[in-house]
A = this chain, B = another copy of it.
Amino acid sequence: MQRYFIDSKQILNNIVTITNSDVHHIKNVMRMKVNDEVIVCDNLANTYLSKLISIEKDKVLLEIIDKINENNELPIDITIAHGVVRREKTEEVIRRITELGCYEYLPVLMKRSVVKVYQDRSERQNKIIKEASEQSHRNRLMILSSVISFQELINRKDEFDLCLYAHFNKNVKSIKKIIENFHGRKILVAVGPEGGFADEEVLKLDEAGFIPITLGKRVLRTETAPLYVISVFGYEFESFID
């Protein structure tokens, strides 16, 4: 069933009012009619079954039929702290890790980032997140955070139960070993930009107590590494049907 992410403010007395680009999607892409059913998710992680009750030129009204007890979210909150990369790569990463269940994407200005001037493209990026969340049947949107400096990343350490960074050459710990004894919820994994972390950044990460991990024997591109991380952590923590 088609799914739309809305703001909880759009709900009043069980009626959902849609006036944004979803109107076009409902009317022209999905060609829906009154009485068709859709799933709506709000920004408080509530999921509802609803049905179309009115389709106007620039407005669609839905009536909530039932609250759905569905949870397709990972049982852990993974934040990817990613060295700033080029626009297309950022978009590709955002789209894929949203699908894979990532909690937060946190761009970090790093020494070896090819992109030196960070342009805010959050409007477009949040649109990608919304689309990917709807398509992958998530119950909440991935958080897109504002860009921060490397020092700010280090300062945020205490917000997390576990802080890791991906490194190729270091004496690294296996993800399996680290996970084995982990009982928290909030995990941060830092991934370097195109050229990797600078030596002084690795030093700062070590000093702050970030743990280096390997992503396997091959050298992954900066835009592939986050997909590996979310796939593997998701796989390990998700309770699979059997």
Contacts and interface: CB of A to CB of B under 8 A. Distances in A.
Q: In the assembly, how many copies of this chain are there?
A: 2
A177 B235 CA distance: 12
Given A99-B224, A100-B218, A231-B227, A242 B174 contact: yes
Contact of A219 (B71, B137, B228, B241): B137
A71 to B, nearest CB: 8
Contact of A240 (B174, B227, B240, B241): B174
A240 B214 contact: yes
Nearest to A133: B218
A37 B232 CA distance: 35
Main secondary structure of the interface of A (DSSP, over half): loop
B176 A240 contact: yes
How many of chain A's residues touch chain B, expressed as a range? 35 or more
Given A171-B241, A227-B231, A231-B235, 7 more contacts: A96-B224, A100-B228, A174-B240, A174-B241, A217-B238, A227-B227, A228-B235
Interface of A: 71-73, 92, 96, 99-101, 135-138, 171-177, 214, 216-221, 224, 227-228, 231-232, 234-235, 238, 240-242
21 contacts: A73-B217, A99-B218, A99-B220, A100-B228, A101-B216, A101-B217, A136-B219, A173-B242, A174-B240, A174-B241, A174-B242, A175-B240, A176-B240, A214-B241, A216-B235, A216-B238, A216-B240, A217-B238, A227-B228, A231-B231, A232-B232
